Amino acid sequence: MKSSKTHTIAIMIFAIFFILSCTNEDIEQDQNANRKSIYYSEEEIVLGTKLPNPYNIDNMKETYNDLFASGSITEPIDVKVTDLYVRFLPKDSLDLKFLYEEKNLILFEYPLDYDIEKAGSYYHDPSISEDEITWLYTTVKPDFEFPSSMQYEVLDRCFIPRDEGKEGVLSSLDILEQKAFERVGLLEKFQPEESDTKGWFSGYKPKGTFRVYDTDLNRLEGIKGVRVKCNLIVKCAYANTNENGYYSISTKFALNPFYTISFSNTMDFTIWNNYTPITAFYYMGVHSRKGHNHDLYTNSVGWSLSTINNATYDYYTSLCFGQNPLRIPPSKLKILQLKSESKSSASMIRRINDLIYINSPNPFKDLMSSIYSIPVNMLLRLVQSGLPDITIGAKSNSSKSIYSTTIHELAHASHFSQVGSYYWSQYINYIITCYANGLDTYGNIDTPNSGICGVGEMWGYAIGNLITKERYSLVQSEQGFYYWFKPQIIYKLITDSRTSLSPYQIFYCLTEDITSHQLLKSKLKYTYPVVSRGIEEIFNEENF
């Protein structure tokens, strides 16, 4: 039997990851009762054979010398080391931050000089323990300053031609690149279908559109703001999609590259996958050097990632920018997709600087809980930078369900931006106390310190319902209306003609001093006296 101390710590750690959780299972059971799920599980990439590197400096020099001697190339090309093919082994999330955010490297979880035998959405080097971060592969310039605190390995020295000239015009760099592939036996694998009379292939800059299917609107929409990566062995380039899912890469490719969608968004958020703090991706294989178009349906492992991505992008653009915006969620927001879960959370745990512990009506138990919380908080401080801000349960195959849940959690993230760490730590303490005492996630109106949770969840559910109603043209979205904190209060304050407050006007009042329904009602009435009577009536109708 576990000791009470161990049990308490286990409760706290477990509950934190389900903090502020909400579930859509009750709705989905009705909507999907007769719908056969074709949702694929996450699968790991399986590597094939190791490929020779055409861009190896020695191979490129020998290729150029042969071409120049034969007269196939007449112009001089300075073939020297332009890039280093390297791999990094980050030891923690700070190392990841350095690589992703500070250096903005084009990182791949899998080695670039291997064939892919089986596509998937993640890869973990079998020589690395599963509870550690795997090797990350990329190219860097020869003068790159390698961090002394991080393990790395230079795998090859390369000359990588980067022709950004006119498309469709055969250049000397195109010829050099193709001949280098031919020398190592890879030309056939990557060559385009068409060629000119000389048998050479002119370079093109890949462009195209990626879309995701909305199961409830029955239409395809662009995957917004994601990074599209092209790599031809170790030659890497990328571009971001616009709101229509269109991308255009500025580097020419004379042969067909690999394509990957990376869920690092232009709106300053990143989606993680598979419980690791590494940017989620969707690998698509080799396609035309001119570009690739691809539509993601529910049978694709990238479908739910794209749905979460678009919901987040829409939240930022529709509610956090423009006139009267809500506070934007914290910078570099990290969202973890949980594919086998229906529950979601906005713990913001990576941002919390205050003590987390279980409250108790018994003073002695409260003291012991505070003592037990010390190792928990010490552990959190060590690992919190590698934890997500938000988790999204993506078990559903309904776009509306995932979209609504994502908006709900982002509304919490904006609230956090306004009220800060101490307020949110009290929110967390309330939830884990409810969990430890066997209560419902949100407790009830009589649970001590329920006010912060009531205000926060009222806001989250109301905004989730509001945006879902607008997007999906529903008569009304009533998720969470049965909870004791009555999110329909805020919903009515926005939609009822007696008040017609904007989301911004309500959010303006959700400051760190608002810890109950009564305090919110008083502040709203004081701030907007013209509709004070309507505010009072709407709160009273729900017995607040």
Model confidence at 182: pLDDT above 50: yes
Strand partners, 230: 237, 259
Burial (0-12, 13-18, 19+ Cβ within 10 Å), 243: middle
Average pLDDT of the residues in 81-103 = 92
- Tokens (6 digits) for 361: 């009506």
Q: Which of 13-22, 187-196, 200-209, 361-370 has the highest mean pLDDT?
A: 200-209
Strand, helix or coil for residue 30: helix
Mean pLDDT of the chain: 87
| 11-25, 168-182, 487-501: range with lowest mean pLDDT | 11-25
Question: How much is the pLDDT for 25?
Answer: 43
Strand partners, 529: none
Please state, in angstroms and as integers, the Cα–Cα distance from residue 46 to each residue in 38, 120, 121, 124, following that order.
Answer: 22, 8, 10, 10
Within 10 angstroms of residue 283's Cβ, the number of other Cβ atoms is 22
Q: Which of 270-279, 294-303, 349-358 has the highest mean pLDDT?
A: 294-303
d(CA 179, CA 63): 7
Higher pLDDT, 233 or 440: 233
Look at the chain and count its residues: 544
Spell out the residues 6+ positions from residue 73 whose beta carbon is closer than 8 angstroms to its own.
Answer: 64, 67, 172, 175, 176
pLDDT band at 382 (very low <50, low <70, confident <90, very high): low
d(CA 362, CA 118): 57
Whether 111 and 49 have beta carbons less than 8 Å apart is answered as no
d(CA 70, CA 196): 19
| 91-95, 172-176, 205-209, 460-464: range with lowest mean pLDDT | 91-95
Burial (0-12, 13-18, 19+ Cβ within 10 Å), 179: buried
**Residue for token digits 């995701």?**
212
Please report, for the chain, the start and end positions of each structural domain, with discontinuous segments joined by +: 4-35+304-541, 46-297
Strand, helix or coil for residue 205: coil
Half-sphere exposure of 108 (CA within 13 A, CB side): 29
DSSP element (H, E) containing 273: strand 269-273
Model confidence at 69: pLDDT above 60: yes
Strand partners, 158: 56, 83
Strand partners, 50: 114
Please state, in angstroms and as integers, the Cα–Cα distance from residue 298 to each residue in 26, 193, 344, 418, following that order.
Answer: 21, 31, 20, 36
pLDDT band at 42 (very low <50, low <70, confident <90, very high): low
Question: How much is the pLDDT for 300?
Answer: 86
Whether 519 and 508 have beta carbons less than 8 Å apart is answered as no
Q: Which residue, 492, 523, 525, is CA-closest to 510?
A: 523
Question: How much is the pLDDT for 253?
Answer: 94
Beta strand pairing call for 22-23 and 207-214: unpaired
Whether 355 and 425 have beta carbons less than 8 Å apart is answered as yes
d(CA 230, CA 50): 19
| 19-23, 80-84, 126-130, 163-167: range with lowest mean pLDDT | 19-23
Strand, helix or coil for residue 525: helix
Whether 125 and 133 have beta carbons less than 8 Å apart is answered as no
**pTM metric for this prediction:** 0.89
Model confidence at 37: pLDDT above 50: no
Whether 342 and 396 have beta carbons less than 8 Å apart is answered as yes
- Tokens (6 digits) for 352: 């919390």
- Tokens (6 digits) for 91: 């030891």
Q: Where are the alpha helices (DSSP H) in 169-325?
A: 172-183, 187-190, 303-319
d(CA 196, CA 524): 71
Provide the percentage of residues in the chain whose pLDDT is more than 70.
Answer: 85
Within 10 angstroms of residue 220's Cβ, the number of other Cβ atoms is 16
Question: How much is the pLDDT for 463?
Answer: 97
The amino acid occupying position 447 is T
Q: Largest alpha-carbon pair distance within the chain?
A: 90
Q: Where are the alpha helices (DSSP H) in 230-354?
A: 303-319
d(CA 190, CA 115): 12
488-512 pLDDT per residue, tens: 999 999 999 999 999 999 999 999 9
321-365 pLDDT per residue, tens: 988 899 999 999 999 998 888 889 999 988 988 767 666 555 444
Q: Which residue, 165, 171, 161, is CA-closest to 250?
A: 165
Question: How much is the pLDDT for 408?
Answer: 96
d(CA 19, CA 538): 29
189-200 pLDDT per residue, tens: 999 876 554 578
